[in-house]
Chains A and B, each alone.
Chain A
């Protein structure tokens, strides 16, 4: 049961198209796992439909409708045999058969197809990271894997961080987070995630700016220290 969701404000920005690319990607992954938020998205989309239906056509519009329509049909006729680009799954097999990647939401599967080789870096004991190319440079997007029972060094955030659990679960002082849970950490919040004992945890995360450590040994083990927008 998913307990943590993006708020209505973020969902509305996603539905209206103003939410940035990287955040939209995680929201999309959440929506594909969360029927409750997907139902809310339907309402938000229908607001767009209602506003479109009641839009007032401009008085001075230039293109006359008939010639615009024949122009469009011309384009349609020349493109009729062009098939949309399809990424063939067979040619891009899932890069891993490991259980953590076994049931990813479609948008994350696509993300992995576009990142066929994941370069895992060990950030600290039991914590690994693989950065992902997403076609934007404002945010750092990455997979994080926490080994069973492993504690991540306490850290706080200079920039907003969004984390979504894709497999397994982890906990911090505030609660337990499982598959589909969507967490937003505002700058300045301190936390220390721990993976649950029985299984590995895979998360998709998006960070805005480098993250600072607060712990004594922090600098040595700061998993996020090297994160900077590419």
Chain B
């Protein structure tokens, strides 16, 4: 039986809540089986040296470890399951980059989760079904012109800054910036409709 994307995302949210509330290992294994290949796929798209299969396996271990630990703070009214896992994966990547670059005085300074703090929420209480937002954004992304979705993917999946993208594609920085802005404008307009 084929379920719609939205009920699928609701399913992941429900499983995450179970993991958070009752430390449900069966639910956690289902989440693992779903997200592990996706995390690898996301990581592999980076290309180059960072795409070693072992590195992707380690990333999966680290991300899912944190998913288990942080699950009690997951709130399905604030974000969808995949968006929440994405933010954990992003923070893991930033952590790994920092550890590799051996910054001085990192021990007593701020941590990644202090600066990218997803628990902090100052939004007015507006009920928005997050899994629906998620599906709308997915559909919006697939309808972007290729030159716009290309820079968005490079930014998120390869973790590149605008100036790195501009250097790599041989485009002026202003062009990269305006493609990003146009893409966001389109995605935003699909959400308010």
Contact = CB atoms under 8 A, between A and B. Distances in A.
A110 B42 CA distance: 32
A3 to B, nearest CB: 18
B160 to A, nearest CB: 6
The bracket for how many chain B residues form the interface is 35 or more
Nearest to A35: B122
B37 interface: yes
A9 B173 CA distance: 11
Contacts, number: 208
Interface stretch (A53-61, A196-204, A214-222): A53-61
A47 B144 CA distance: 12
Contacts of A75: 61, 65
Given A45-B87, A47-B141, A133-B108, A24 B116 contact: yes
A103 interface: no
A16 interface: yes
A51 B40 CA distance: 12
Name B's interface SS.
helix
A55 B57 CA distance: 15
Interface in A169-212: none
B42 A52 contact: yes
B155 A53 contact: no
A46 B83 contact: yes
A9 B175 CA distance: 12
A72 interface: yes
B137 interface: yes
Given A32-B120, A51-B141, A76-B68, A107 B115 contact: yes
B80 A17 contact: no
A4 to B, nearest CB: 18
A81 interface: no
Nearest to A69: B32
9 contacts: A28-B115, A43-B133, A43-B188, A48-B87, A51-B157, A56-B45, A60-B53, A62-B53, A135-B98
Interface of A: 8-9, 12-19, 21, 24-25, 28, 31-35, 38-39, 42-58, 60-63, 65, 68-69, 71-73, 75-76, 79, 84, 106-107, 110-111, 114, 133-137
Given A17-B94, A51-B86, 14 more contacts: A18-B164, A34-B122, A44-B184, A46-B137, A49-B86, A50-B82, A50-B134, A52-B39, A58-B41, A61-B56, A68-B61, A69-B36, A114-B109, A134-B110
